[in-house]
Amino acid sequence: MTLLVVGASHKTAPIAVLDQLARTDQVRLASEALASEHIAESMVVSTCNRLEVYAEADRFHAAVNDICALLAKGAGIPVDELVPHCYVRYDERAIQHMFELAAGLDSMVVGEQQIMGQVRAAVVAAQDSGTAGRELNEVGQAALRVGKLVRSATPIDGAGASIVSIGLAQAFERLAGLGGTQPGGAAVVVIGAGALGSLTLAHLARLGVGKVTVANRSPSDEQGRRLGRGADVAGLNQLPELIADSDLVVCCTGATGVVLTTDIVRPTLIGRGGRPLVVLDMAMPHDSEIGIADLPGVVRLDLSDVGLAAADGAEPDGASAARRVVAEELTEFVATRAAREFEPVMLSLRAWGSAVVDEELLRVRGRLSDVTQDQWEEIELGFRRAFNTLLHTPTVRLKELATDRGGAQYAQVLNSLFNLAVDQVAPVSGTSDADLVDLREAERLREGVQ
């Protein structure tokens, strides 16, 4: 079996492609992936700038083809147009990728905190739906542990940077450049009351924004109390009047379908007297029509603009230390995982050796009828101590060799040398020749689209 990940992110695909992928039914995607005859486990990780499918597969190339076809189907994009924007990683590289993802090292904004919650949600969803088995559960839990360790052991998220903080900074910078007001005197409308909306409210509060209104499909007094932070609550039907009196509109519903249209915004521009309006769309898929940017006095920013701003910034303090933590944890995890896979081989070897010792002790016992019980126990202890000593170095060395790329060959060598049970060696005997061909093809593919 091979652990692999196939996906697209802000590093490999334009926002338009990511926007289409974000419309995919993730629960259905995981279930359909599991229905593939080549996939035994599946898990979907979705963030505001990526969609990935992790899988435990018995045929690498066939599984990659199946996943790419499902991604293309869900996004409504032809496979041959989607594949150039995808990346593929397998085995140790796939594990490393998930560790880096949970640590915030692969995010649009390096070190952002929200990614941990998104990875956790993916693991829980895969557990609840039954698409993740032992392997993906183990890797997912390890990734969450590494992400938590990185944040406790390094200052990578000390600055609290996120797509929200960078997006708002960019929005107010554009607003000021157009002669608009400063945050303290700004009126802001936040469309969406979910996690991203709550984070936006927190940042607006830190910026000292004067007036904030949250527009949602089902506003309520309870929701207003939950959101707190001095924000008013209104319905989406009130958007025209809210926007007419606002300086900044932040879209972050995360729902499928456009919420803010050109037809809604255009009438609100009458009577503004040249007062600029900035629309910051941080939703994926997007909440606002792209054509809004063509309206006079209106600036529309989305995740592509936030990504450019994030790319221009320096990496946060602690990024290098975080990578070292990930590398150390990856080495330990891979070694432990590989050693565990070789346990059946060692158990078989010990069973064979114990049988030899037992047979020899039985033979010697028949010849030494005059020894006392204490003497016999000492003889038996000596036999078993010698056996354990002989196996100690091979056992330690085998655990070390298990992490090698060709580690499976050592299992076959042991089988040949000691005539171990084939069914005990088979689970760790690696891939077939055909699979090795697939892996070589995958390596070439990975170099091309990574």
| SS3 assignment for the chain | CEEEEEEEECCCCCHHHHHHHCCCCHHHHHHHHHCCCCEEEEEEEEECCEEEEEEEECCHHHHHHHHHHHHHHHHCCCHHHHHHHCEEEECHHHHHHHHHHHCCCCCCCCCCCHHHHHHHHHHHHHHHHCCCCHHHHHHHHHHHHHHHHHHHHCCCCCCCCCHHHHHHHHHHHHHHHCCCCCHHHCEEEEECCCHHHHHHHHHHHHCCCCEEEEEECCCCHHHHHHHCCCCEEEEHHHHHHHHHCCCEEEECCCCCCCCECHHHHHHHCCCCCCCCEEEEECCCCCCECHHHHHCCCEEEECHHHHHHHHHHCCCCCCHHHHHHHHHHHHHHHHHHHHHHHCHHHHHHHHHHHHHHHHHHHHHHHHHCCCCCHHHHHHHHHHHHHHHHHHHHHHHHHHHHHCCCCCCHHHHHHHHHHHCCCHHHHHHHCCCCHHHHHHHHHHHHHHHHHC
The residue annotated as part of the active site, out of 48, 68, 86, 252, is 48
Residue 251 appears among annotated catalytic residues: no
- The residues annotated with a catalytic role in the active site are 48
